[in-house]
Chains A and B, each alone.
Chain A
């Protein structure tokens, strides 16, 4: 199959996927106990005000009608507005998507810089102290809770040393240095977690490829060990790692709630959780739809990369 055909087929699948996601997220929100109008009213209990809110946001209509109203607007490009702060959902998403993308991208860079070399080292130096150390680091990255690590980093780098800001986010267009300073710690927190996963998979894939016949052949032909590992083994081992990387990147794009909470990063994750607690249906629906779409596209990107890297996936010549 040619690459354009492959991409076209995958894009066609995107439409029913998003439709299914829209029905699912809409239905799931209806299962949440509590009244959205009461959530918005909080301690202000004026029944007339609550009734007006229900009418304005069609909460007094049946669920299928509410869905039809919402999906009709979505198809016209209107994702609705946040019931809580009245900001259009599309504007919220446009403001937060770059933040989330930047956080996810920086975290992935750290994950790859930590995970892949550690995985290669652990595979090549199996049984040696350096491999054990790499394994321990990977497990730590996976096991240490993000909120604890985040707080510890804030206390050390921001409070004790004063090198970095404790929290917040500065846009790169506003101040690049400030942006890098604010994104460093949360990226590290997320990156160590994903790095642990990348390390484990890289190690597994490397061990398998290092035992392959073609590697043995290369060694017998006096190819240097460095070339065997980096050129022959790693390139093939990276194929499943690329796919995993795309999945992890997609997961990060869905928002890292705890990290965003600790570092006050205005990303998707925090907006999603606040939306659920506040019963801000339009926000939750918008975030989930966009995240689902991005996830599918990222998976496609991962598969395309794998397609390009591995000729065997292209089918017969």
Chain B
């Protein structure tokens, strides 16, 4: 009898244990598209950053109001007049393969970002000349020139830390099987299918992770993605289309939250990039006329259901670096016509290249009609996105319709687009005064002084208009109401800590 009771108790425990073990909590997130290689050094697709949030912690992170906070690093301190930064690291952190996270690992990662052929991080942290190991948990980055935006860069892929051991073993195949120090360990990837991670038992902040497994599912069609959310096959979807918002809001089982993005939608104008720069580069009044003829608010109301924010500067109106002295101008067709006459081109004509994407195509049509009222003939030329970007590089354009995803530091939203040798300056705008101001702003640690410098820049940009910044989107994330603890961030990245399903 006694043995029977012991056996029964044992069996009950086994059954309970098995039941508990098999009740895995899974979070499934629908992505707008399939990420590229999962290697922070060479990754460039925005959607990859959402996946990295699960696998790869960074040295620092940002709060919803863009304050820098510790993650794998606990603090930083500028030294040597801004030409060095000392970073203290979090103790007790391990990579997914059990290797310790320490100063040597940080040095390895930074050197990897700087030396790997095809690295897209080099332009973000290229000012780092060398990395010194002060002790096992302290590193010192030595810079060629002060670079205040460096810390903000370390809150993204440049600050993501991968296991040196795994990197050496996998070489350039690391992106197929990332090994980092994030809350989830990489399990498998089915290209265009799903990316799966399982909870990392030794995660340094495991108390705040409430899922056993995470699955990222790329579903490019927004209707299908929303249907998956509604059916419960997904618990979250990123970048909900504005035209789907009404449906989500009317569903009592769903919730959608939106936050102003860090980036902007824009029309780079060719000022001096080859012969086609003659059309709009001849006189800033031509560009000012185009700017005045566009009614941003009306476009946002009619095309985007009033969900976006009209913009004219390289940061959104909610940013502390927005220059409030220059708000978005009201449309003024009469003034636009006058500017064109003064510039000697009352019947200005140019071509705008637009990718075959619904939002931008619709907006372009409205812009076309608005410009026509000012006597400007804008021809819309539809080109596939890669072709358009290539044309931009080569100067084979007058204007094209693109966007920038945005960076937490204002430098990331303007420097490479506007400086004479900027890698993204397709307009080939070159103003040495602006170069000097923006370079000074990179070196300036005092936020008030930086604001003053960026205010100066904005004033010049709004006069010279190498780019027309049109609006800032809101990043909408949809989720089941059972999901709690979600706090949206302007970068659109879904942070997994604190998320739980009720």
Contacts and interface: CB of A to CB of B under 8 A. Distances in A.
Interface of A: 33-35, 38-49, 52-53, 55-56, 82, 84-87, 92, 95-96, 147, 150-151, 154-155, 158-159, 162, 165-169, 261-264, 266, 270-271, 274, 277-279
Contact of A46 (B46, B122, B233, B405): B122
A100 to B, nearest CB: 12
6 contacts: A45-B424, A86-B173, A87-B189, A261-B224, A262-B224, A266-B191
Contact of A169 (B117, B172, B193, B220): B193
A277 B387 CA distance: 10
B389 A166 contact: no
A169 B218 CA distance: 12
Most buried by B among A49, A147, A162, A169: A49
A96 to B, nearest CB: 8
Nearest to B33: A274
Contacts of A147: 221
A43 B404 contact: yes
A159 B122 contact: no
A86 B176 contact: yes
The 8 closest A-B CB pairs, nearest first, are A266-B193, A34-B386, A52-B117, A34-B387, A46-B123, A44-B44, A52-B118, A39-B386
Contact of B224 (A45, A86, A263): A263
B39 to A, nearest CB: 7
Most buried by A among B119, B173, B386: B386
Contacts of B384: 33-34, 277
A39 B424 CA distance: 14
Nearest to B423: A45
Given A43-B46, A159-B230, 18 more contacts: A39-B386, A41-B44, A44-B123, A46-B122, A49-B119, A56-B118, A166-B231, A167-B217, A167-B224, A168-B228, A168-B233, A261-B224, A262-B224, A264-B218, A264-B219, A266-B191, A266-B192, A279-B386
Given A34-B387, A35-B386, A266-B190, A86 B37 contact: yes
Given A49-B122, A261-B221, A151 B192 contact: no
Contact of B117 (A55, A159, A166): A55
A56 B37 CA distance: 15
Interface string B129-171: 0000000000000000000000000000000000000000000
Nearest to A87: B176
B440 interface: no
B122 A270 contact: no
Contacts of A266: 190-194
B423 A167 contact: no
B387 A33 contact: yes
Question: Chain A: interface secondary structure?
Answer: helix
A162 B231 contact: yes
Contacts, number: 149
B405 A95 contact: no
Most buried by A among B39, B219, B383: B219
Interface in B180-215: 189-194
Interface string B10-25: 0000000000000000
Nearest to A280: B36
Contacts of A271: 191-192
B345 interface: no
A145 B404 CA distance: 35
Contacts of B37: 84-86
Contacts of A38: 386, 389-390, 393
Interface in B96-133: 117-120, 122-123
Contacts of A48: 122-123
A42 B117 contact: no
Contacts of B405: 43
A87 B423 contact: no
A166 B386 contact: no
B220 A34 contact: no
Nearest to A57: B118
Contact of B233 (A52, A95, A158): A158
Contacts of A154: 224, 227, 231
Contacts of B387: 33-34
B35 interface: yes
A168 B194 contact: yes
A266 to B, nearest CB: 3
B301 to A, nearest CB: 28
B485 interface: no
A41 B120 contact: yes
Given A38-B389, A46-B120, A167-B233, A151 B176 contact: no
